[in-house]
A and B are shown apart, each in its own frame.
Chain A
């Protein structure tokens, strides 16, 4: 029972870290995607390189670079902030790829019709292409967000007191046994259910209207 309350104390941290790093990353990803599609060859190459690098180095390594690497002798960030930054960067790279795939799924005729109507580039994106892109990106974004929820456990290694941190603390005190792990696993699965449900609900609502 005492173990359960300790585990529960990690839940707010896990949720907060998932939410903040996803939102920040989804926003940064939009910019990164724009760079990947920019007309400047240099910007395009830089963005492509950044996406590859961010996705090729494991999350632990990024978090350690930010927390210990920058922290030791440069700027010492609180562990939560360091974890959020690192995970947001990784999210940005993945979301940029998801947006890019979704953009190519929006029919070219949509842009052409918007041009023919004289809509400015900003309104073409804001009113016509953007909403359709988000609709297509939604399922992949939800899958990624569920993956991110599990990846936040890495933050426990730099001292964020999330669910994985509490599990580890309990496990080190040998009396806990294996039950605590099963509960932790179920807890993570339970936390992922709202994300999946939200994505399905939004998807159904949009699909009912658009029916494509």
Chain B
């Protein structure tokens, strides 16, 4: 059992799970997520106006922008927690057109391909931490209880919480809960991980331990979309930054370049405001 709390750097050094090897990762240059003209409305209110961007395998994209700009809505559209009204999202070669019903099979595949981490953790309070990480493996991937628990222990060790396996989430700090949530999302060997403001509900020092796990995950080659208010994470860990405001992408580019030298006045204002805090 690996007991190091820190993920090993380097692409996929932790050893791919059999499921994963079979899935066959897309070509390095091919986009693994492509979002085209995405539209989401709530009644008359338009939350997303024809959003589009692409994500290559192994890439880490940070989405930043003022609250209410549609960042979380966009993220939730990627795994169809919200159904878009128009446009198209392609995930690992699977097309999901907005405004259409999707088959159970298509959604099942999508959710095994995409893992998600929520702002409020959403751990299952009535299950032990081990069970939180093993349940989907049994129910969704059809693994045996033993295989699922072995894998769960391995993942908990990766996030440095193997010793908590038998406890209930309420006994853990917020930072620990979020690291467990990351382990839970990794349990189905997703190709892509979505993070919806993973540190916003945490005290700064607890946020750091979560960010450390995320950084290691990024370095291990995971494809990630991270909605965040952590400007340092956006600048130093992500490869690219997408800036959203009022349901539109107003700027995107390589992280360092964009964060140090934003082109649009709107981005400059936003960065100025958050850095002032």
Write the residues of chain A forming the contact surface with B, with a CB cutoff of 8 angstroms. Answer: 107, 109-110, 112-113, 115-120, 123, 127-128, 131-132, 135, 206, 209-212
Select which of A112, A131, A132 is within 8 A of B81 by beta carbon: A112
Complex CA–CA separation, A119 to B140 (angstroms): 6
Residues of A within 8 A of B185 (CB): 116-117
Residues of A within 8 A of B115 (CB): 116
Check if A211 sits within 8 Å of B111, measured CB to CB.
Answer: no
Of chain B, the residue at the smallest CB distance from A135 is B126
Write the residues of chain B forming the contact surface with A, with a CB cutoff of 8 angstroms. Answer: 79, 81, 104, 107-108, 111-112, 114-116, 118, 120-126, 135-136, 139-140, 168, 170-171, 181, 184-185, 188
Check if B136 sits within 8 Å of A118, measured CB to CB.
Answer: yes
A-B contact count (CB 8 A): 73
Residues of B within 8 A of A132 (CB): 124-126
Residues of A within 8 A of B124 (CB): 110, 113, 127-128, 132
Residues of B within 8 A of A127 (CB): 124, 135, 139
Residues of B within 8 A of A206 (CB): 126
Of chain B, the residue at the smallest CB distance from A108 is B122
Ranked nearest first, the 10 interchain pairs of A and B with the lowest CB-CB distance are: A118-B111, A113-B122, A211-B170, A109-B122, A116-B116, A117-B136, A118-B140, A210-B125, A123-B139, A131-B126
Interface centre among B135, B185, B188 (most CB of A within 10 A): B135
Check if B168 sits within 8 Å of A210, measured CB to CB.
Answer: yes
Check if A109 sits within 8 Å of B184, measured CB to CB.
Answer: no
Of chain A, the residue at the smallest CB distance from B125 is A210
Residues of B within 8 A of A109 (CB): 118, 120-122
What is the minimal beta-carbon distance from A157 to any residue of chain B, in angstroms?
A: 42
Residues of B within 8 A of A123 (CB): 139
Check if B188 sits within 8 Å of A117, measured CB to CB.
Answer: yes
Residues of B within 8 A of A115 (CB): 81, 111
Select which of B108, B123, B126, B170 is within 8 A of A118 by beta carbon: B108
Further contacts, 10 of them, CB under 8 A, given A118-B111, A210-B168: A109-B122, A113-B181, A115-B81, A116-B111, A117-B136, A118-B188, A132-B124, A132-B125, A135-B126, A206-B126
Q: Jot down 18 A-B pairs with beta carbons below 8 A, ordered by A.
A: A107-B120, A109-B120, A113-B116, A113-B181, A115-B111, A116-B79, A117-B111, A118-B112, A118-B188, A119-B136, A120-B104, A127-B124, A127-B139, A132-B124, A206-B126, A209-B126, A210-B126, A212-B125
What is the minimal beta-carbon distance from B91 to any residue of chain A, in angstroms?
A: 13
Residues of A within 8 A of B188 (CB): 117-118
Of chain A, the residue at the smallest CB distance from B112 is A118
